[in-house]
């Protein structure tokens, strides 16, 4: 399974962390280089040939699409190696480019393929190299035996505000084990994953700085799936509660190790309750351009489809696009889509080249997700009655789009993050 030295490279060049200092800055360009173009074509091919034809069926079935994920694993699209290769692109653009194509194919299936990535990022971002090597491959398995990862932060009472997690992790000195209790909500792959990464409060007093991340290995007693959410959109992606009932894991499952945690807690206690970034937040901020790229893929799908439709469909003796009411909608859609892509690419580049200054990651995610909701709704309108039926894909794209304004920070939270970044003030 995998090549350990590559995985170590992955740790060093994680796309999730602003690692600009490790490398000389790369040029920012909106022209894709050969490698990027190749990955774009390759993911597009998969999206068109495998995902598009399967999309309606898995939306209807509302269950995890193992066969599709297996196909993705066969060609190397589902797997840590893919993320690692993407991570080696110093411009940061490879991942958003690939993700846009996947979500152009289908958002539900796309989430099913991407879902394990959050767990992998949580491990790589917080774990030691040894932990990363041990657990990241287990989030994926291989084409013959697909495995899943789940990243568990949100709770029923802590969605937007993750500094107040109720899930507790208590150290049992006698056995050298951590004991976790609590309920996680809205978890992608929750309960069906092989590896769950759980963020829990070790010292609740310290809020975000008193939290730590734990790996829960496969088949650990006490971890179970709560309710499965029956959603509007991205229905091929499994979302459920995860219940932790006296879950015991060995000390080695604490990501980053005990020494590092103890030092962090000591620092935090000294500094008092500080609002410095917490582990979960760090993962979120750097993955936002990728989430934006997901929304972008959906929006582009809807735009392309409705453009073709508007040229073909005749009413009052002419193609409907010959009405400005329709043509201007489409002009607006593509302009907003392109604006979103530029924000996403800039953010992805910044994530690898010097880091964010004005919450550019949040800007890109906010813009792209809102654009996706509006564009897909306009697409329904352009298709008229056909747009409102399940016989055509645009209604599904609209259902799929909305979630992107909610998860990984709602639109309101993105605005809050941006407002804080530009003002330097803790706007509440």
Partner 1 sequence: MSDRTASMLDSIRGKARSWLEAQWDPHQPLGEWWSNLAQSGWGFPDFPERWFGLGLPSESRRIVREELQRVGAFGPPHGIATMMVAPLLVEMGTDEQRQQWLPGIVDGSEIWCQLFSEPDAGSDLAGARTTALRDGDVWRVNGQKVWTSGGHYAKWAILVARTDQSAPKHSGLSFFGIDMRQDGIQPKSLVQMNGSAEFNEVFIDDATTLHTNLIGEEGKGWPVALRTLSYERESLDADAEPGIQTDLDLTIAAGRYASGEIPDGSEGFMPGGLEAWELLCSVIAANDKQNDPRIRDRAVKVYTGIKTSSWMSQRFAQAPEVGAEVSLGKLAATQLMRDWRDLALTALGPHGQLLEGENTFDGLPAQIALSVPGLSIAGGTDEIQRNIVGERVLGLPREPRPNGD
Token code pair at residue 261 = 């945690």
Beta-ladder partners of 178: 171, 249
> 338 exposed, middle or buried (CB, 10 Å; 0-12, 13-18, 19+)?
middle
Site size with ligand FAD, rule: CB under 6 A: 13
Site size with partner 1, rule: CB under 8 A: 37
- Is 408 known to be catalytic? yes
User: Least distance to ligand FAD from the beta carbon of 264, Å?
Assistant: 56
The answer to whether the CB of 300 falls within 8 A of the CB of 100 is yes
Which range binds partner 1 by CB under 8 A, 124-132, 198-206, 301-309, 395-403? 395-403
> What residues contact 407, with CB distance under 8 A and at least 6 apart?
186, 291
- Establish if 187 lies at the interface with partner 1 (CB under 8 A): no
Phi, psi of 104 (to 5 degrees): -65, -35
55-94 mask for partner 1 (x: CB under 8 A)?
A: ----------------------------------------
- Picked from ligand FAD, partner 1, none, the partner binding residue 87 (CB below 5 to 8 A depending on kind) is none
343-382 mask for ligand FAD (x: CB under 6 A)?
A: --------------------------------------xx
Of the candidates 48, 408, 412, 428, the residue annotated as catalytic is 408
Which range binds partner 1 by CB under 8 A, 126-134, 288-296, 331-339, 382-390? 382-390
Smaller CB distance to ligand FAD: residue 253 or 320?
320
- Establish if 230 lies at the interface with partner 1 (CB under 8 A): yes
- Establish if 186 lies at the interface with partner 1 (CB under 8 A): yes
HSE-CB at 160 with a 13 A cutoff on CA atoms is: 11
Q: Is 347 helix (H, G, I), strand (E, B) or coil?
A: helix
The answer to whether the CB of 150 falls within 8 A of the CB of 119 is yes
DSSP per-residue letters across 18-51: --GGGSPPPPP-SS--HHHHHHHHHHHHHIIIII
User: Least distance to partner 1 from the beta carbon of 101, Å?
Assistant: 25
Q: Is 276 helix (H, G, I), strand (E, B) or coil?
A: coil
Beta-ladder partners of 145: 142
Cβ atoms within 10 Å, residue 186: 20
H-run or E-run covering 219: none
Contact pick of 73, 326, 348, 368 for ligand FAD (by CB under 6 A): 326
Smaller CB distance to partner 1: residue 244 or 326?
326
- Establish if 319 lies at the interface with ligand FAD (CB under 6 A): no
> What residues contact 248, with CB distance under 8 A and at least 6 apart?
172, 175, 177, 178, 179, 180, 220, 221, 222
- Establish if 424 lies at the interface with ligand FAD (CB under 6 A): no
Q: Which of residues 152-181 bind partner 1 (CB under 8 A)?
A: 159-160
The answer to whether the CB of 394 falls within 8 A of the CB of 379 is yes
Q: Which of residues 409-428 bind partner 1 (CB under 8 A)?
A: 410-412
- Establish if 380 lies at the interface with partner 1 (CB under 8 A): yes
Q: Residue numbers of the site for partner 1 (CB under 8 A)?
A: 159-160, 186, 227, 229-233, 314-318, 323, 325-326, 377, 380-381, 384-385, 387-391, 395, 398-399, 402-403, 406-407, 410-412
Positions annotated as catalytic residues are 408
């Amino acid at each position: 399974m995998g090549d350990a030295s590559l995985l170590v490279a992955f740790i060093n060049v994680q796309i999730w962390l602003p690692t600009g200092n490790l490398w000389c800055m790369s040029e920012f360009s909106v022209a894709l280089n050969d490698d990027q173009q190749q990955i774009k074509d390759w993911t597009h091919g998969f999206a068109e040939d495998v995902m598009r034809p399967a999309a309606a069926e898995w939306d209807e079935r509302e269950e995890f699409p193992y066969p599709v994920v297996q196909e993705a694993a066969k060609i190397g699209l589902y797997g840590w190696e893919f993320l690692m290769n993407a991570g080696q692109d110093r411009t940061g653009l490879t991942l958003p480019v690939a993700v846009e194509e996947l979500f152009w194919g289908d958002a539900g299936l796309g989430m099913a393929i991407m879902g394990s990535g959050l767990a992998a990022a949580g491990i790589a971002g917080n774990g030691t190299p040894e932990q990363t090597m041990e657990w990241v491959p287990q989030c994926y398995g291989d084409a013959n035996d697909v495995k899943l990862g789940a990243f568990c932060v949100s709770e029923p009472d802590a969605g937007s505000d993750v500094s107040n997690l109720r899930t507790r992790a208590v150290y049992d000195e006698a056995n050298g084990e951590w004991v976790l209790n609590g309920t996680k909500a809205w978890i992608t792959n929750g309960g069906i994953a092989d590896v769950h990464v759980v963020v829990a409060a070790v010292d609740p007093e310290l809020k975000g700085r008193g939290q730590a991340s734990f790996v829960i290995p496969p088949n650990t007693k006490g971890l179970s799936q709560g309710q499965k959410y029956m959603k509007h959109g991205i229905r091929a992606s499994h979302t459920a509660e995860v219940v932790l009932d006296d879950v015991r894991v060995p000390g080695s499952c604490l990501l980053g190790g005990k020494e590092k945690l103890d030092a962090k807690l000591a620092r935090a206690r000294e500094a008092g309750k500080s609002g410095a970034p917490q582990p979960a937040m760090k993962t979120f901020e750097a993955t936002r351009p990728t989430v934006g790229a997901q929304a972008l893929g959906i929006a582009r799908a809807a735009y392309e489809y409705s453009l073709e439709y508007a040229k073909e469909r005749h009413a009052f003796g002419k193609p409907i696009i010959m009405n400005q009411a329709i043509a201007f909608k489409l002009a607006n859609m593509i302009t907003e889509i392109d604006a979103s892509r530029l924000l996403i690419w800039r953010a992805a580049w910044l994530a690898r080249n010097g880091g964010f200054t004005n919450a550019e990651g949040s800007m890109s995610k906010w813009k792209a997700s809102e654009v996706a909701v509006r564009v897909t709704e306009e697409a329904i309108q352009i298709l008229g009655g056909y747009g409102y039926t399940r016989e055509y894909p645009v209604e599904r794209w609209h259902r799929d789009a909305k979630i992107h304004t909610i998860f990984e920070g709602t639109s309101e939270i993105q605005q809050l993050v941006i407002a804080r970044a530009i003002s330097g003030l803790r706007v509440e």
